[in-house]
Amino acid sequence: ESPDVAAVIGNHVELHVFAKKDDAEGSDFYYLGRAHARDAEPTTMANGMPVVRMHLGFDRPIDGALYDYFEPVVTGTA
């Protein structure tokens, strides 16, 4: 319901996604590209904090080598 969240889920702002694999890997962040929000739904975290969960559709495919670097973490197969 906040204006900031409404702007994101309504795709009224540009989303540039950065990711970090693990603190043990260092302090580098990786640019994954521009994305748009879809399928947003309000929910709560385990501690009761309200959050909005959504899928992100990327404007361009993520580079294969970068995807492979993150893939075990993304799919939970590590």
Residue 4, strand partner residues: none
Q: What is the pLDDT at residue 77? A: 52
Instruction: Show the tokens assigned to 31.
Output: 């640019």
Within 10 Å of residue 19's Cβ, how many Cβ atoms?
A: 14
Q: What is the pLDDT of residues 19-78, one digit of tens each?
A: 987 777 778 898 999 999 999 999 999 999 999 999 999 999 988 888 888 876 555 555
d(CA 31, CA 42): 26
Instruction: Show the tokens assigned to 53.
Output: 């969960």
Q: What is the pLDDT at residue 21? A: 79
